[in-house]
Amino acid sequence: MSDDLIHDPKGGMPRLLAIMRALRDPVTGCPWDLEQDFATIAPYTIEEAYEVADAIQREAWDELKGELGDLLFQSVFHAQMAADRGLFTFDDVANTMSDKMVARHPHVFGDESNDKSPEQQTRDWEAIKAAERAAKKQKGILDGVAHGLPALTRAIKLQNRAARVGFDWPSTDEVLDKVVEEAAELREARDAAHMEEEFGDLLFVMANLARHLKIDPEAALRSANAKFTRRFAAIEAALAEQGRTPSNSTLEEMDALWDAAKAREKAGYT
């Protein structure tokens, strides 16, 4: 293989594919890349997707280019492993997606009218996807919701599927009542298995509440994580000014510093 393309800074997608082929070359490739398979790479794929989402949430546009590249490389890696096994190629992946997008947008690439509301387009999209599932012999309403999704995301998708056929609470009031009910059942649980089950039920209902409120639960939890990290860092900074650390402070002292950090943030919002 010529190195000209690999070292061409403007080689674009062909360059990336050539690099991946070189990394997986059975004779001259990288030992680490060669020993990987779909299962070992999958966790990295998920991680890179989250890093893309994180850069977007932080509006770190300079970082986003690199994070999107990392995610693209995951697709290239999986496609190369598939090609090594004679399953399919990267071109097959790209063509499959192109075919899907053309088929799902007849109002753009076909003869349907483009004069549609976003809501009508969503309904049409779901009808097309339902037909695709039927072609794959996925008969159940919930068939095809990937098991590998983050649990909260999968819960939302399962609930959305069920809601389309009328299996849903009519308003947030009923969901909030269910949250109270599930919290009470968790309080009454006595053994570890029962507590885990009830905790799962409570999380599932909270995901449903997020759906009714039109909140992305993953995004909301990421925001809460960032808030916790920010406020705990404020505790550490305040203690460091006193020559101390959290480990040699009391809970009461840290709670007071937490409240102070919270008050400063709220003052900044007004």
Question: What pLDDT shows up at residue 2?
Answer: 61
- With contact defined as beta carbons under 8 Å apart, do 139 and 162 qualify? no
* Structure confidence by residue, pLDDT tens digits, 84-143: 999 999 999 999 999 999 988 888 898 888 787 878 777 777 777 777 777 777 678 888
Question: What pLDDT shows up at residue 91?
Answer: 97
Q: How far apart are CA 2 and CA 226, in angstroms?
A: 47
* Structure confidence by residue, pLDDT tens digits, 165-210: 899 999 999 999 999 999 999 999 999 999 999 999 999 999 999 9
Q: Which helix (H) or strand (E) holds 34?
A: helix 31-34
Question: What pLDDT shows up at residue 3?
Answer: 85
Return the percentage of the chain with pLDDT > 90, whole number.
Answer: 71
Q: How far is CA 168 from the centre of its chain?
A: 24
User: Fold for domain 3-102?
Assistant: Helix Hairpins (1.10.287)
Question: What pLDDT shows up at residue 13?
Answer: 96
58, two tokens = 């932080």
- With contact defined as beta carbons under 8 Å apart, do 38 and 45 qualify? no
- 3-102 shares its CATH topology with 140-215: yes
* Structure confidence by residue, pLDDT tens digits, 23-33: 999 999 999 99
Task: State the Cα angle at 218 between 56 and 230, rounded to 5°.
Answer: 70
What residues does each domain of the chain span?
3-102, 140-215, 218-269
User: Fold for domain 140-215?
Assistant: Helix Hairpins (1.10.287)
110, two tokens = 């076909």
- Position 43 pLDDT exceeds 50: yes
25, two tokens = 């070359």
Radius of gyration of the chain (CA): 25
